[in-house]
A = this chain, B = another copy of it.
């Protein structure tokens, strides 16, 4: 099996590594190169030869075992079981009742099944470690608990208890609470986006919006274009629906609109996902000129746009250019917003804005998914927006985030000036830092973790971003941020 050493999965291919490995093994078996009974090298050896984590090998093998192409044995080795074709002869043994081909008999046997990908192992580690006590979370894309409007929400509970409104305990309408949608339309109107309540679908956060769009509007095997890097690479919102991602290069003004026509044709892409304002993870704001150009190009080549406006309200120095949706006169843009980044992730309230037909289709899928979002959350969100809490909160929040951003920039200037480069973000949560030395991100992640610091490494957002970190100034307390930035600089220097 020395030919193994010659092949490695392509890190730039949007297909997940374990699927590339799965496809490689299938090809070997189907072509007859690997024959029934042949023993495979150990998972450890394979991981090394393919240059991937062992969990990636496990993921690929589990799927091939399920497909009947590989089989494990009690000694831990794995052999080629067959080419996955059903052998018709066995089906007709003994009076038509054949033994089940499936060895799965217990719920536990199903854990490796299912169409939905598990989270990336690194993401699973991060998700788990986020709940570990005393961990300094230096990359977390959430507001620090101290920035959440706990007191105001308590006042809201009290106001709701004494108001004359009914407490909505039934299902809401398919599009969501009408009073909330009206309030959202006012809010969107202030940002130049014209919408009626029938153009708005209330969802349980932006992630669910992407799920509904991929399940409701896209075919399996569709390809969508998106910024490279993008936080969509770190989650499986689209990939689990069989949708492929193809990256569009960025510069300081945002994604390169000039690359779209070619990429659309090359990849037969069906839509463009973009996060033009305080981009996650780079913090870049798409310029006014680029927005105009992007709208023109997408209109010309017939490429619908999915705009992620999650960070839009988090401007720190000056308001950003108007959203793409504010420039949309033909229904070319589907816009997604959320309260998660600005008020409370726990409320699970987001929205999709689009043409009535599209919104109706998505509402139908939403009804089939969870029968609508929590009516209590919708009630809270309505009162929050309606009663002026939101405006006051945003002013205080911007003030606090400004202090945090400036602190982190000072720490970078002080401790990191000779080991990294970065740009000053004008809003959002993130500073995208490029390390100048030859430091291994995997090692840095592990060593930081041992020192009690949780990092979001660049490779989560772009497999090629092997020298980048997404730092967040939104989450960790300022004192912890100070300690962690110094400690990290030490660790980087040790490796460098």
Q: Which residues does A use to contact B, with CB under 8 Å?
A: 1-3, 30-38, 66, 83, 85, 88-89, 92, 96-102, 104-108, 110-111, 113-119, 124, 127, 131, 142, 145, 148-150, 153-155, 157-158, 160-162, 166-174, 194-199, 204-205, 207-208, 211, 214-220, 235-237, 240-242, 261-262, 264-265, 268, 270, 299-304, 328-334, 340, 343-348, 354-358, 360-361, 364-365, 367-377, 380
Please judge, given known A-B contacts A217-B113, A265-B97, whether A161 and B157 are in contact too, CB under 8 Å.
Answer: yes
Contact A369 B167 (CB under 8 A): no
Interchain CA distance A198-B34 in the complex, whole Å: 10
Name the distance in Å between A85's Cβ and chain B's nearest Cβ: 8
CB contacts (< 8 Å) of A215 on chain B: these are 114-116, 240
Interchain CA distance A96-B261 in the complex, whole Å: 9
Contact B368 A100 (CB under 8 A): no
Please judge, given known A-B contacts A198-B2, A241-B115, whether A142 and B170 are in contact too, CB under 8 Å.
Answer: yes
Name the distance in Å between A145's Cβ and chain B's nearest Cβ: 6
**From A155, which residue of chain B is reached at the shortest CB distance?**
B161
Interchain CA distance A15-B372 in the complex, whole Å: 27
CB contacts (< 8 Å) of A85 on chain B: these are 329
Contact A376 B347 (CB under 8 A): yes
> Of B331, B346, B372, which one neighbours A172 at CB under 8 angstroms?
B346
Name the distance in Å between A487's Cβ and chain B's nearest Cβ: 25
Name the distance in Å between A97's Cβ and chain B's nearest Cβ: 5
- Grouping DSSP codes into helix (H, G, I), strand (E, B) and loop, the A interface class, with mixed when no group exceeds half, is loop
Chosen A-B contacts, 9 in total, with CB atoms closer than 8 Å, are: A35-B331, A100-B264, A114-B216, A115-B218, A116-B216, A116-B368, A157-B160, A204-B373, A377-B377
Interchain CA distance A216-B368 in the complex, whole Å: 17
Interchain CA distance A34-B312 in the complex, whole Å: 25
Contact A110 B304 (CB under 8 A): yes
Interchain CA distance A194-B236 in the complex, whole Å: 34
Interchain CA distance A117-B367 in the complex, whole Å: 12
Contact B170 A345 (CB under 8 A): yes
Name the distance in Å between A76's Cβ and chain B's nearest Cβ: 20
> Of B124, B304, B370, which one neighbours A204 at CB under 8 angstroms?
B370
CB contacts (< 8 Å) of A330 on chain B: these are 32, 35-36, 83, 106
**From A219, which residue of chain B is reached at the shortest CB distance?**
B113
CB contacts (< 8 Å) of A97 on chain B: these are 261-262, 265, 300-301
Contact B108 A218 (CB under 8 A): no
Contact B127 A331 (CB under 8 A): no
Contact B375 A347 (CB under 8 A): yes
Name the distance in Å between A295's Cβ and chain B's nearest Cβ: 12
CB contacts (< 8 Å) of A34 on chain B: these are 355-356
Name the distance in Å between A132's Cβ and chain B's nearest Cβ: 12
> Of B38, B145, B216, which one neighbours A357 at CB under 8 angstroms?
B38
CB contacts (< 8 Å) of A145 on chain B: these are 169-170
**From A117, which residue of chain B is reached at the shortest CB distance?**
B368
Contact B347 A374 (CB under 8 A): yes
Interchain CA distance A365-B236 in the complex, whole Å: 10
Please judge, given known A-B contacts A108-B331, A376-B346, whether A369 and B169 are in contact too, CB under 8 Å.
Answer: no
Interchain CA distance A180-B371 in the complex, whole Å: 21
Interchain CA distance A142-B167 in the complex, whole Å: 17
Name the distance in Å between A4's Cβ and chain B's nearest Cβ: 9
Contact B148 A169 (CB under 8 A): yes
User: Closest 3 A-B residue pairs measured CB to CB?
Assistant: A105-B302, A346-B375, A158-B161
Interchain CA distance A32-B301 in the complex, whole Å: 18
Please judge, given known A-B contacts A111-B358, A215-B116, whether A83 and B346 are in contact too, CB under 8 Å.
Answer: no
> Of B106, B240, B374, which one neighbours A332 at CB under 8 angstroms?
B106
Please judge, given known A-B contacts A32-B331, A106-B304, A167-B153, whether A367 and B119 are in contact too, CB under 8 Å.
Answer: yes
For the complex with contacts A150-B166, A204-B204, 18 further pairs of A-B residues with Cβ separation under 8 Å are A32-B329, A32-B333, A33-B356, A89-B302, A97-B300, A107-B355, A110-B304, A111-B357, A113-B217, A115-B215, A115-B242, A116-B365, A153-B167, A157-B157, A157-B161, A172-B346, A205-B371, A373-B374
Please judge, given known A-B contacts A219-B115, A329-B32, whether A373 and B348 are in contact too, CB under 8 Å.
Answer: yes
> Of B98, B220, B331, B346, which one neighbours A107 at CB under 8 angstroms?
B331
Interchain CA distance A37-B37 in the complex, whole Å: 59
**From A167, which residue of chain B is reached at the shortest CB distance?**
B153
Name the distance in Å between A308's Cβ and chain B's nearest Cβ: 15
Name the distance in Å between A235's Cβ and chain B's nearest Cβ: 6
Interchain CA distance A148-B171 in the complex, whole Å: 11
CB contacts (< 8 Å) of A31 on chain B: these are 194-195, 329
Please judge, given known A-B contacts A110-B217, A195-B33, whether A169 and B302 are in contact too, CB under 8 Å.
Answer: no
